[in-house]
Amino acid sequence: MATIYCNLNTGSGLKKLNEYLLHRSYSNRYHLNSKRSSSFFCNSKKHFHTTYRRKLKIEKGHQSQQVLSERNADYSGTTTEEEKENDVSKAILIWRAVKLPIYSVALVPLTVGSAAAYFQTGIFSARRYFVLLASSVLIITWLNLSNDVYDFDTGADKNKSESVVNLAGSRTVTLLAAYSFLALGFMGLSWTSVEAGNMRSIISLACAIICGYIYQCPPFRLSYQGLGEPLCFAAFGPFSSTAFYLLQGSTSQMNYLPLSGTILSASILVGFTTSLILFCSHFHQVEEDKAVGKMSPLVRLGTKRGSTVVKVAVIALYFLLFAFGLIKALPFTCILFCALTLPMGKLVVRYVEDNHKDKQKIFMAKYYCVRLHALFGAALAAGLVVARAVTKKYVPRPIFS
């Protein structure tokens, strides 16, 4: 029994000792593995952070170089574009300052007046026509230059880049050039009037020039009172067109040409389209005009009602045309040819209605009016010439003899 008991105890003790040793060995291995895992994890974490930082620095470096290169490219591209824009802008400013299309206001009254004289008398002098054209261009140049000078004085053209004074950089030179052109132009008109032996024409032309002077020059400056359009109508309509009619129809045998309903009707239509150009030229500068006290019709009315005025004016133009045809003041050919310009008139109305609020786009409105003015004047003159060729003889009813 004792032997068995000892064996049992010994076996139980050995078993417990074995379990204890196994447990301790497992614990040691666990702790060792835990330490190794923790060490490995820390080392991995440190390695990860180091690699990430290194990669982040490399990526930032690449991004910085890319951004820098893009900025350099954008800068160089922008510089090139700005240089191109400056070049284009300068060319456009010079074109606007020259105002070449506006010189149609010198061509149309002369052409229509000459055509009316040919319609009545069958006489046309090409030499006289071109002398009058050159003189008229000089007078219009005076109008444009002096207008820029006096608007510069009042501050109306202070921010107007296309002003001749701003481009030339000298008010005095611009003013001297303007009055030199006036003197040369008036000499040409006077010489032609003396040659034709018609003093009524030079009086009429002098009245037209006076209208231009009081329109813009001190101390009058009637354009600042909103009277520019009536003065423009009188100067380029009844005064100029009638004067050119008298000059072209006068000869050594007949130097007293009566005023007929034909020339008066034609001159009214010419004055109408010329005034429309002036009216539309103020759409883009309403705020500037208002700031300096230039109370043009558009400053008083606003651009919205101004667009309605343009529509009514174009309708009235064609209404007058057909009315003059009905009373036989103008021949049928004039009515027919001028009616062909209706699409251009419609284009002017639509363009102004659509763009009267856009200062950039509405700037072109006056050039659309110039097209209408030139086309209508050409159609009117062609109608008079063709009517003369068809009828061969025409005896107008004199209104003023």
Confidence (pLDDT) at 45: 45
Is the pLDDT score of 340 beyond 80? yes
Q: Which tens digits make up the pLDDT trace of 43-68?
A: 444 444 455 465 555 555 555 455 44
DSSP string, 332-390: HHHHHHHHTTHHHHHHHHHHHHHHTT-HHHHTTHHHHHHHHHHHHHHHHHHHHHHHHHH
Q: Which of 72-86, 203-217, 321-335, 338-352 has the lowest mean pLDDT?
A: 72-86
| Band of pLDDT at residue 69, cut at 50, 70 and 90 | very low
Is the pLDDT score of 353 beyond 50? yes
What is the chain's mean pLDDT, rounded?
80
In percent, the amount of the chain with pLDDT more than 90 equals 53
Confidence (pLDDT) at 109: 97
Strand ranges for 21-155 from DSSP E:
none
| pLDDT, mean of residues 194-222 | 92
For residue 259, list its beta bridge partners. 400
Q: Which tens digits make up the pLDDT trace of 366-399?
A: 999 999 999 999 999 999 999 998 876 544 555 5
| pLDDT, mean of residues 82-97 | 57
Q: Which of 83-92, 132-141, 344-353 has the lowest mean pLDDT?
A: 83-92
Helix, strand, coil shares of the chain, percent, nearest 5, are: 85, 0, 15
How crowded is residue 88: how many other Cβ atoms within 10 Å of its Cβ? 10
Q: Which of 11-15, 110-114, 175-179, 352-356 has the lowest mean pLDDT?
A: 11-15
Q: Which tens digits make up the pLDDT trace of 131-152?
A: 999 999 999 999 999 988 888 8
The more confident residue out of 20 and 277 is 277
| pLDDT, mean of residues 241-267 | 85
Confidence (pLDDT) at 153: 84
Question: What element of type H or E holds 259?
Answer: strand 259-260
Query: What is the C-alpha to C-alpha distance for residues 397 and 399, in angstroms, rounded to an integer?
Result: 6
Query: What is the C-alpha to C-alpha distance for residues 170 and 172, in angstroms, rounded to an integer?
Result: 6
Helix (H/G/I), strand (E/B), else coil: 400? strand
| pLDDT, mean of residues 116-136 | 94
| Band of pLDDT at residue 77, cut at 50, 70 and 90 | very low
Query: What is the C-alpha to C-alpha distance for residues 129 and 133, in angstroms, rounded to an integer?
Result: 6
The more confident residue out of 225 and 70 is 225
Is the pLDDT score of 97 beyond 60? yes
| pLDDT, mean of residues 58-80 | 46
Which pTM value belongs to this model? 0.74
